[in-house]
Amino acid sequence: MPKVIENVGCPYCGCSCDDVRVTVSDDGKDILEVENVCAIGTEIFKHGCSKDRIKLPRMRQPDGSMKDISYEEAIDWTARHLLKAKKPLMYGFGSTNCEGQAAAARVMEIAGGMLDNCATICHGPSFLAIFDNGYPTCTLGEVKNRADVIVYWGSNPAHAHPRHMSRYSIFPRGFFTGKGQKKRTVIVIDPRFTDTANVADYHLQIKQGHDYELFNAFRMVIQGHGNDLPDEVAGVKKEQILEVAEIMKNARFGTVFFGMGLTHSDGRNHNIDIAISLTRDLNKVSKWTIMAMRGHYNITGPGVVWSWTFGFPYCLDLTKQNHAHMNPGETSSVDMAMRDEVDMFINIGTDAGAHFPIPAVKHLKKHPWVTIDPSINMASEISDLHIPVCICGVDVGGIVYRMDNVPIQFRKVIEPPEGVMDDETLLNKIADRMEELKAKGEA
Amino acid sequence: MSELIIKNGYVFDPISGLKGDKADISVKDGKIVDKVSNKAEVIDAAGKTVMAGGVDIHCHVAGPKVNLGREMRPEDKFFRGEYRGGILKQGKRMEMGFSIPSTWKTGYAYARMGYTFTNEAAMPPLLAPHVHEEFRDTPILDQAAMPVFGNNWFCFEYIKNKELENNAAYIAWLLNATKGIGIKVVNPGGTEAWAWGENCTTINDPVPYFDITPAEIVKGLIEANEYLGLPHSVHIHGNNLGNPGNYKDTIDTLKLAEGTKAKNKFGREQVLHNTHLQFHSYKGTSWADFESGAKEVMDYVNSNKNITVDIGQVTLDETTTMTADGPFEYHLNQLNHIKWANVDVELETGSGIVPYIYDKNIKVCGIQWAIGLEIGLYAKDLMRVHITTDHPNAGPFTRYPRVIKWLMSQKAREATLDTMKWKDKVIAASNIASMDRELGLYDIAMMTRAGPAKALGLSSIYSLTKGADANIAIYNLDANKLPSDPELIEAAFQNTAYTLKEGVVVVKDGQIVAEPPKYTLWTKVNMPENAQVMHDIKEKFSRNYTVNLENYAVFDEHVHNARAIELDVA
Ligand code: SF4
Ligand SMILES: [Zn+2]
């Protein structure tokens, strides 16, 4: 008899939906059906029970081929190389549960290395802005239950976060928002006419890279200097700016959702900084919150876990071993790789092979490279060692943090392929092995 | 079987009535016992002071807002106190942060001060798994957390409809779901109002859209607490915190407990614990004529036995304020204009975070400092007045030894007053300069372990009575010859000679030497399931929450070493 498992978390985007229904086969090994999930989510579950899952670590041979080795050998090899390296880097964590991220912190503290997550190439600028200006935010249920004005700025949930609008923001009927979309005003600020812009009440087609100016214009209006605006700012007409600012001021509860359109265009962290300032201004006349549209289902996790462990969310330098240091630009993965400072690389739960600039990859490739990932990807294919692990949310559970910092408890739905370890177990074994080697004086 | 005996120390244990007598404390298998065999390991405590492990009744050490504070304040990592320039690693993990230390530093630093239990003061129920993850990563310390109820939509409705049993059943359900210890209330009604940018500044301000007042919320929760007979009482941070003139609102809040008697099997006598009283004892009409209201508030506290309080002492440091009182943090930010974080949590609560510098050269900060100490010095029954800094709000918990020094030494108070730019104004606005009371070690034992343990209903675990956990602090202080230099008192309380956790020496000469298992304490109410309440819960989850009900309660595997305090309700 197939079994239905409900309340399953989707290990794909930052919405971290927890209402997926999965039907699994009698023997608990196959996924027969996945419901409530959008198309991208389905793929992950399908992959989980595919027959081509890698079940053993694979070590590159002198002739370039990959040969299966035992987990024990892989753990020993990784531990020894970590201890030998002066500045090893572990990077990734886009699809790792928090238990794995905590174990990774332990590994890199013992190794005395660098530890970083994908924020370094996506929402790192948001962290910089938060360091300077704070973060007036809320949980997504507040938006659902209260918000009457929604702003999507430089983000396109219709593609990147497919159920964001239906579960949390525009469409749901909440406690004070019983009329759903009818009573909400949706403002999209984007140079492109996206599918999200298509459902908006207002689309401000801003000139690419001029976000900071438009934020400034809104701040002027909110602070009472609307008359001083020029006829057009960042490609948007004064009348339209005044009209939209008026809507913002009169909101009962408003939220700004911002995405990589802001963190990756001119201005970067300054865009986020001024977005926060605008939110602060708006709180003098109304109630407003702001939220980063974090990409992956647990990419918020490492920032949370490492903040309680070390006090910094990313770009961690643990080489001193008795205290941590963070200085994005100096201690950020891509910058270090571009300067060829890293002498061992562990790619975990992401694909640096695909996402890093080619010169950075070339530098990293000169040194031992380990990929810890359930699947074959570009990183695994250029690795010296590929260690397969369980897929969080499919064959291992654990805690993940949704984009609004709400912890969601993910469930395991099928048994992992025989012998495959989860990230936490694997990493703790690597840490234990390093401690053993150190105690024996072999490092 | 492991045996240990602590010999010849001056033992202060108000729960068992030891007032500094020379006594031996015997430990067997992690518990306090009457006697041990002659094979027992001996710790020589001659010339030293022995107390039960410290109990912190109110601090913010784990969870979402503490951690957002860490995340948004990289600069807090530059302040490493005496460790500036690099902490020498003592335990298994590195120690980071000053006002909002990492979980590892939190565990180690409390243990070095002789503390073995902390009560996290505000757990947003929806975010409970986060609190428990941090507990797992906080070494040595036993920990508990209080879920917040003062702005919870379920409670609003049950209280408004006078459904005591349903309210109690919901509370019991939520304690179980979040693995919480008791009922916390923060700015009742005011934080819900803040979701619309408003506030409730008196106990009679109506909560927008909910047709209820803070007074009704507090009374309803006290009633439910005593109906259930929970180990701890309602633990309140009342309305109008931090504003001149609020001492009247504080007395109004305390009066809500009048006529109610504690009903429980844990030895607790109070029905209301008012936390960080310092922030609630302000006179004056503005910051210009701001002055101490400690006398008025403490007169009330002294004459009402069903109330306990903790101080919330300002330590004159740069720190990070954080509270579920969202509107307060917003207003604080309007004063200092530094960075501001806010987190409103659906159906339940909110919070705010603002860095703050208690500068001894600012008059108001000096007066706040004086008010906290006055609260301790006016107290008649020190079992009911506990030392806290509302960590990290009025200062970091690592300053408890300094607070103890100020309470024990007028000379130390005068020395601090002398460093203040507006000393005269501080003296004029308070009574601190005229108070010559100096507390003794027995007083301090009441304020830092016996009192809080009793108020939490945990004195059978956290004391030196037979059967209690052998959590013990041994300080380098000769009770018969206290040092005349107050700095030495502070130093002695900063780093113990020994701290024991369940009979294991975890600190020796101020150094972490072991990291044995620790517990998560929570309150398990055994009562029949309430069909109406379960129905209401299901409905709210399907309509208003964004997390499914089945994923809301913390899974057992995410609760670290759970230890339930059980009670039955028919
Ligand atoms: S919106 Fe995101 S988390 Fe939700 S089902 Fe789709 S991919 Fe998964
Ligand atoms: Zn507090």
Classify strands B352-357 and B307-310 as parallel, antiparallel or unpaired.
Answer: unpaired
For residue B175, how far is the Cα from the chain centroid?
Answer: 18
Residue A88 — φ and ψ, nearest 5°?
-70, 150
Number of cross-chain residue pairs from A and B with Cβ atoms under 8 Å apart: 186
* Model confidence band, residue B199 (pLDDT cutoffs 50, 70, 90): very high
Pairing status of strand A325-326 against strand B385-386: unpaired
**B351 is in which domain, residue-wise?**
119-126+145-383+392-439
Question: Is residue B138 one of the residues assigned to a domain?
Answer: no
Contact B244, B282 (CB under 8 A): yes
Helix (H, G, I), strand (E, B) or coil at B459: coil
B303-336 pLDDT, tens digit per residue, is 999 999 999 999 999 999 999 999 999 999 999 9
> Mutation test of ligand 1: which of A37, A168, A170, A403 has the most ligand atoms closer than 8 Å to its C-beta?
A37
Look at residue B385 and tell me whether its pLDDT is greater than 70. Answer: yes
**CA B551, chain centre distance (Å):** 29
How many CB atoms within 10 Å of residue B538?
A: 11
- A104: contact with B, CB 8 A cutoff: no
pLDDT one-digit tens code per residue, B471-510: 999 999 999 999 999 999 999 999 999 999 999 999 999 9
Residues in Cβ contact with B84 at an 8 Å cutoff, skipping those fewer than 6 apart: B78
Which residues, including other chains, have CB under 8 Å from residue A64's CB and lie 6 or more apart?
none
Q: Which residues line ligand 1 (CB under 6 A)?
A: A 10, 12-13, 15-17, 37-38, 40-41, 161-163, 297
Q: Domain for residue B149, yes or no? A: yes
Give the helix, strand, coil percentages of chain B, each rounded to 5.
35, 20, 40
Question: Of the candidates B89, B134, B340, which has its C-beta nearest A280's C-beta?
Answer: B340
What is the C-alpha to C-alpha distance for residues B475 and B483, in angstroms, rounded to an integer? 13
What residues contact residue A422 under an 8 Å CB cut-off, 6+ apart? A97, A99, A100, A389, A390, A392, A395, A396, A398, A416
Chain B within 8 Å of A160 (Cβ-Cβ)?
no
Which residue among B87, B94, B558 places its CB closest to the CB of A409?
B558
Could you give phi then psi for residue A360, rounded to 5 degrees?
Answer: -65, -45
Q: Quick check: B50 and B12 in contact, CB under 8 A?
A: yes
Q: Is B90 on the interface with A (CB under 8 A)?
A: no
Angle at A353 between CA A351 and CA A356, to 5 degrees: 95
Q: Chain A window 329-388: which residues touch B at a Cβ cutoff of 8 Å? A: none
User: Which among B464, B486, B468, B469 is positioned nearest to B477, based on CA atoms?
Assistant: B486
Question: Does residue A91 carry a pLDDT above 50?
Answer: yes
At B332, which amino acid appears?
L
Residue showing tokens 């419901």: A35
- Point out the ligand 1 atom lying closest to the alpha carbon of residue A13: 2
| Mean pLDDT of chain B, nearest integer | 97
Residue A214 CA neighbour count, 13 Å, CB half: 27
Angstrom distance (rounded) from CA A112 to CA A117? 17
How far B138 CA sits from the closest chain A CA (Å)? 9
Average pLDDT over residues A300-304: 98
Question: Is residue B248 a part of any domain in this protein?
Answer: yes
pLDDT one-digit tens code per residue, A370-424: 999 999 999 999 999 999 999 999 999 999 999 999 999 999 999 999 999 999 9
Q: Which two tokens stand for residue A216?
A: 């400034």
> How many other CB atoms sit within 10 Å of the CB of residue A443?
16
Maximum C-alpha span of chain B: 69
C-alpha B184 – ligand 2 centre gap (Å): 10
Q: Per the structure block, which two tokens stand in for B31? A: 């518990």
Single-letter amino acid code for the residue at A277:
S
Q: How far apart are CA B339 and CA B360, in angstroms?
A: 21
Q: If we measure between CA atoms, which residue out of B302, B308, B217 comes closest to residue B262?
A: B308
Specify the residue with its C-alpha closest to ligand 1, atom 5: A37
Tokens of A328: 């994005």
B558 contacts A399? CB cut-off 8 A: yes
Q: How far is the CA of A29 from the centre of ligand 1 (A)?
A: 23
Q: How far is CA A2 from the centre of its chain?
A: 33
Residue A307 C-alpha, separation from nearest chain B C-alpha, in angstroms? 5
The structure tokens listed for B163 are 């459904």
pLDDT of residue A164: 98
The predicted pLDDT at position B80 comes to: 58
Q: Is residue B549 part of a domain?
A: no
CB of B188 closer than 8 Å to CB of B214: yes
Examine residue B218 and state whether it is found in any structural domain, yes or no.
yes
Under 8 Å between Cβ of A346 and A340: no
pLDDT value, residue A36: 93
Contact A71, A387 (CB under 8 A): yes
Average pLDDT on B439-445 reads: 98
Measured from the CA of A16, which atom of ligand 1 is nearest?
A: 3
| Sheet containing B115-123, strands listed edge to edge, beginning at the edge strand earlier in sequence | B54-59, B115-123, B142-147, B520-526, B562-568
Among the partner-chain residues A18, A98, A312, the one whose CB lies closest to the CB of B547 is A18
What is the Å distance from ligand 2's center to B447 Cα? 17
Task: Check A140 against B346: CB less than 8 A apart.
Answer: yes
CA–CA separation, A372 and A391 (whole Å): 11
Flag the least confident range among A395-399, B11-15, B81-85, B530-534: B81-85
Confidence category of residue B84, pLDDT binned at 50, 70, 90:
very low
The fraction of chain B above a pLDDT of 70, given in percent, is 98
Q: What is the mean pLDDT of chain A?
A: 96
| 8 A C-beta contact, residue A397 and residue A410 | yes
Ligand nearest to the CA of B324: 2
Q: Is A39 helix (H, G, I), strand (E, B) or coil?
A: helix
Question: Across residues B93-112, what is the average pLDDT?
Answer: 95
Contacts of A168 in chain B (CB under 8 A): 546
Confidence of residue B67 (pLDDT cuts 50, 70, 90): very high
Q: How many CA atoms lie within 13 A of B26 on its CB side?
A: 12
Q: Is the pLDDT of residue B82 over 80?
A: no
Taking the CA of residue A114 and the nearest CA in chain B, the distance in Å comes to: 15
Of B299, B244, B235, the C-alpha closest to B60 is: B235
- Judging contacts by C-beta atoms under 8 Å, the chain B residues touching residue A397 are 555, 557
Predicted pLDDT at A42: 86
> Model confidence over A323-376: pLDDT tens digits?
899 999 999 999 999 999 999 999 999 999 999 999 999 999 999 999 999 999
Question: Separation of B237 CA from ligand 2 center, angstroms?
Answer: 7
Phi-psi region of A209 (alpha: psi -120 to 50; beta: other; left: phi over 0): left
Query: Searching chain A, which residue's CA lies closest to the CA of residue B80?
Result: A323
Cα distance between residue B338 and residue A26, in whole Å? 58
**CA-CA distances (angstroms) from residue B497 to A84, A122, B11, B505, B518?**
39, 49, 14, 10, 21
Residue entry with tokens 């919870």: B152
Tell me, yes or no, whether B268 lies in a domain: yes
- What is the bridge-based pairing of β-strands A254-258 and A149-153? parallel
Q: Cα–Cα distance between B535 and A89 in angstroms, integer?
A: 51
**Portion 196-225 of B in contact with A at CB < 8 A:** 196-197, 209
Q: Which of B198, B187, B483 is nearest to B351 (CA)?
A: B187
Residue B447 per-residue DSSP state: I
Work out the angle between the directed axes of helices A423-439 and A71-84 (0-180°, nearest 10): 60
- Count how many Cα atoms sit within 13 Å of the Cα of residue B516 in the half-sphere of its side chain: 15
pLDDT digits (tens, 9 = 90+) for A124-183: 999 999 999 999 999 999 999 999 999 999 999 999 999 999 999 999 999 999 999 999
pTM of structure: 0.98
Q: Please list every residue in chain A whose beta carbon sits closer than 8 Å to the beta carbon of residue B343.
A: 137-139, 405
Do you find a cis peptide bond into B392, omega within 30 degrees of 0?
yes
With a cut of 70, say whether residue B85 has pLDDT above it.
Answer: no
> In angstroms, what separates the C-alpha of A363 from chain B's closest C-alpha?
30
What are A37's two structure tokens? 């999930």
B287 touches chain A (CB under 8 A): no
Is B110 inside any structural domain?
A: no
Per-residue confidence (pLDDT) for residue B79, from 0 to 100: 64
DSSP letters of B384-433? GEE---TTTTSS-GGGHHHHHHHHH-HHHHHHHHHT-TTHHHHHHTSSGG
Which residue on chain B is closest to A291 by alpha carbon?
B343
B181 and B521 Cβ atoms separated by less than 8 Å = yes
pLDDT > 70: percent of chain A? 100
Q: Which residues contact B418 (CB under 8 A, 6 or more apart)?
A: none
Distance from the alpha carbon of residue B289 to the mean position of ligand 2, in angstroms: 26
Question: By the CB < 8 Å criterion, does A221 face chain B?
Answer: no
Expressed in angstroms and rounded, the spacing between residue A10 Cα and the centre of ligand 1 is 6
Enumerate the β-bridge partners of residue B115: B54
Q: How confident is the model at residue B1 (pLDDT cuts 50, 70, 90)?
A: low
Identify the CA nearest to A65 among candidates A345, A346, A383. A383
Say if residue B492 is exposed, middle or buried (CB neighbours under 10 Å; 0-12, 13-18, 19+). Answer: buried
Q: How far is CA B351 from CA A101, A135, B124, B242, B326, in A?
A: 26, 11, 9, 15, 4
Instruction: Specify the DSSP element, H or E, that contains B509.
Output: none
Q: Kind of pairing, strands A58-60 and A66-68? A: antiparallel
B139-164 burial: b if 16+ Cβ within 10 Å, else e: bbbbbbbbbbbbbbbbbbbbbbeebe
Domain count, chain B: 1
Q: Which residues of A touch B153 (CB under 8 A)?
A: 175
0.85 surpassed by complex ipTM: yes
Residue B260 counted as domain residue: yes
Q: How far apart are the first and last CA of chain A?
A: 53
Instruction: Locate B290 and state its tokens.
Output: 């701001």
What's the one-letter identity of residue B321? T
Least CB–CB distance from B346: residue in A142, A323, A397? A142
Q: Determine contact, residues B69/B77, Cβ cutoff 8 Å.
A: no
**Predicted pLDDT of residue B318:** 94
Comparing CA positions, the residue from B335, B371, B332, B363 lying closest to residue B247 is B371
Cβ under 8 Å to A: B residues 422-451 = none
